[in-house]
Amino acid sequence: MKNCWNLKLSDGLLCAWLVSYSLAGYAQFSEADSPPAASAYLFPIKPGQPAALAGTMGELRNTHFHTGIDIRTLNEIGWPVRAANNGYISRITISPSGFGLAMYVKHPDGYTTVYGHLDKFKNDVDEYVRKERYRRKTSSVDLYFRKDQFTVSRGDTIAFAGNTGSSAGPHLHFDIRNENNRALDPLHFKFSEVADNTPPVVRKVALKTLDIDSRINDQFGRFEFYVTKTNGEYVLPQPILAHGTIGIELLAYDVVNNPNYKCGVNYIEMFADSQRVFSQAINQLNLNEGRAVFTVMDFKTLRTDGSRFYKLYVDDGNQLGFYSATRNGKIGVKPDAQMPVKILLSDTHGNSSTLRLNLQHSKPVNLVKWMGPVETTASSIQENTWIITTKTCPKNTLAWKKGEPSVIDPAYLNSATTVYLIDLRQPLPDSINICGERLIPPVQARIFPGKEFTYYSAHADIQFPSRAAYDTLYFSTSYAATTDSIELFQIGDPNVPLRQGIKVTLKPARSYSIPEKTHVYRKNGKGYVFEAGAWAHGKIQFTTRDFGTFALLTDTVPPTITPQQVNRYGARFKIRDNLSGIASIEATINGQWLLMNYDEKTYTIESETLKRNMLLQGEFVLTISDNAGNKQVFKQTIN
């Protein structure tokens, strides 16, 4: 499924809403929504001709917000990129990932336009950048320019669209940033090339219990429901039984007139009993808060099945400024009543969709007939609650604390399944005995946002800076060794996001014969991701921004080099590494440094000479190193 996310209300509602946001003022999004200079900006790809988008500003990506629009180039490389306005080239970056080849143009009004995933720059800039890369003897660069060095006029060809960096296909990424380095929505700049008369699409709605006494259809947890479309509106045809405090989440997207590209929903409003309780308006993005996207989505669902559900409530750790909410959008279900809920979704062009559902109050019951049977005991944490789901047992469940037992009652059950709910904010038992099975509470420490904390254990020490947590962390670790002697260190819950990196010191139980090639790796599906690590006194320390399972693995296998072309007209190779990943690429011709452009997504490197059309001749040497220090060398004499 292709990326792209954005939304819409009716024109009048959108206008009134944006005005109210402007008057209220908010942290991340305080500028006017339609900049005064909007009419002066030119569409950067084939201006005046209809354009298609594959991504919009504000759409949710797995690790960040998308900061601009992705303009399709019909799977072609080389389309001319035009300067959106007068100004000067202020910055050039080149990287094998991210934006790849990118250009920044500063304009007299203080705005900066960004052009990413380029194939090449205009000739004079391209030549200058190439010389700088040779002078610095590096492929990746971040160059800044004087105001009078490379001036451009509106409509000048400044580069050519490509597929470099982390691009999933040929296109131009286009940002507009204000003087405070905040990304604006380019669609507010009234580009006539982008037409959109298609409203957002809703696929699912999720309801989540937000305190231990809440219920949805008599149960505690998070529950997803498919919606249907009737008479032009999305609906849940049957009322949802609910009690207590409920959070609503939405799986929805915008299509910008192309159903193959699923874009973000920037404008959402929710009404309960005709009162507005939540609204979201993503008009600008603070580029320093990209990782805060984790607080906008249901992070566990993102990690487990890849779905990006918008939360229509504001968690305690969410400090983004594009919300207006009553009780943070959390709905209190009124006793003995039915509560209608209406959700409006809108995009920048004013197209809107409506979702309607009803919450029918239902008092919690002890017997829940429609729960299915379970095979094994399952334990998880949601908000401040420990959930234990197990087979129904005729014996009492005992909580042991300091050697003394006490009976704990189930929250609800049926003949096959029993659910216990334990409040993690209260003192916890040392263990719980359920029909002969002993459970240890999955909390070894409570870590609060805004406070530094260091956790010590036999197998790992973890330092949490004050900004590490978005919300209270119920933290635990564990240690295990596999049958093939791989040590596994479980650090925290991988379904809980971190705001800032934590410093971890692992204390392995076994010794490693080649410590300089042994590093920390995070388990990712069936494979591992390199996390680095430095050894000292038999321990290894590293920094990570992800909870998960970490292993110590030794990499002694050098990268592979597969020639595709090696002659006077150029050198091109496929390079791979089996574990730690490519760290450096060095090439020389007759002892002189030779630039090799690296495309990470295709594992391809290709030579680029200092002067165009210069032939390669003499002794060619290519050295590829991985992150564990293994090297592979390729040599060939080119006649």
Q: Please report, for the domain that includes residue 122, its CATH number.
A: 2.70.70.10
Task: Evaluate whether residue 215 is within a structural domain.
Answer: no
Same domain, 434 and 461: no
Q: What is the pLDDT of residues 154-170, one digit of tens each?
A: 999 999 999 999 999 99
C-alpha separations of 583 from 312, 554, 558, 626 in Å: 42, 16, 11, 5
Average the pLDDT over each of 18-27, 118-127, 145-154 and give the range with the smallest value.
18-27
In this structure, are strands 261-262 and 2-3 parallel, antiparallel, or unpaired?
parallel
Domain boundary among the residues 189, 210, 226 is at: 189
Give domain status of residue 137, yes or no: yes
Residue 613: per-residue pLDDT: 85
- The string of DSSP codes covering 470-507 is SS-EEE-EEEEE-TT--EEEEES-TTS--SS-EEEEE-
Give residue 257's pLDDT band: very low, low, confident or very high (50, 70, 90).
Answer: confident
| Dihedral angle over CA of 358, 361, 362, 364, nearest 10 | 120
Same domain, 133 and 45: yes
The answer on 17 and 162 residing in a single domain is yes
Which of 390, 418, 439 is the last residue before a domain boundary?
439
Query: Does residue 19 sit in the same domain as residue 134?
Result: yes
Q: Calculate the CA 213 to chain-centre distance.
A: 32
Looking at residue 251, its amino acid is: L
Is residue 244 in some structural domain?
no
Compute and round to an integer the Cα radius of gyration of the chain. 28
In a domain, 396, yes or no: yes
List the one residue out of 197, 205, 294, 201 whose CA is nearest residue 252: 201
Assess whether pLDDT exceeds 80 at residue 560. yes
Write the pLDDT tens digit of every residue in 45-91.
Answer: 999 999 999 999 999 999 999 999 999 999 999 999 999 999 999 99
**Are residues 550 and 566 part of one domain?**
no
pLDDT at 11 over 60: no
Instruction: Reply yes or no on whether the pLDDT at 130 is more than 60.
Output: yes
Pairing of strands 534-536, 539-544: antiparallel
DSSP 188-208: GG--TT-------EEEEEEEE
Question: Is residue 249 in a domain?
Answer: no
Please indicate, yes or no, whether residues 545 and 567 belong to a single structural domain of this protein.
Answer: no
Write out the H or E segment, with its range, that includes residue 391: strand 385-391
pLDDT tens string 383-409: 999 999 999 999 999 999 999 999 999
Contact predicate 605/575, CB 8 Å: yes
- Pair 480, 413 in one domain: no
* Structure token digits, residue 77: 């490389």
pLDDT confidence band for 283 (50 / 70 / 90): very high
* Domain termination residue (choose one: 189, 211, 239): 189
Residue 516, token pair as written in the block: 């300089």
* Statement to judge: residues 58 and 172 lie in one domain: yes
Identify the band that residue 484 occupies on the pLDDT scale cut at 50, 70 and 90.
confident
- Euclidean distance between the first and the last CA atom of the chain, given in angstroms as a whole number: 47
Residue 474's CATH number: 2.60.220.30
Q: Do the domain assignments include residue 394? A: yes
Residue 567 to residue 622: CA distance in whole angstroms: 14
Query: What is the bridge-based pairing of β-strands 352-361 and 240-243?
Result: parallel
Task: Write down the pLDDT at residue 38.
Answer: 61
What domain range is 458 assigned to? 445-554
Q: What is the tally of structural domains in the chain? A: 4
Token pair belonging to 54: 């594959």
Are 595 and 534 members of one domain? Answer: no
On whether both 40 and 89 belong to a single domain, the answer is yes
**82 lies in the same domain as 184:** yes
Dump pLDDT digits (tens) for 424-461.
Answer: 999 999 999 999 999 999 999 999 999 999 999 999 99
pLDDT band, residue 261 (cuts 50/70/90) = confident
Instruction: Look at residue 616 and tell me if it is in a domain.
Output: yes
pLDDT of 224 over the 60 cut: yes
Residues 489 and 536 grouped into a single domain: yes
Q: What is the CATH number of the domain that holds 576?
A: 2.60.40.760
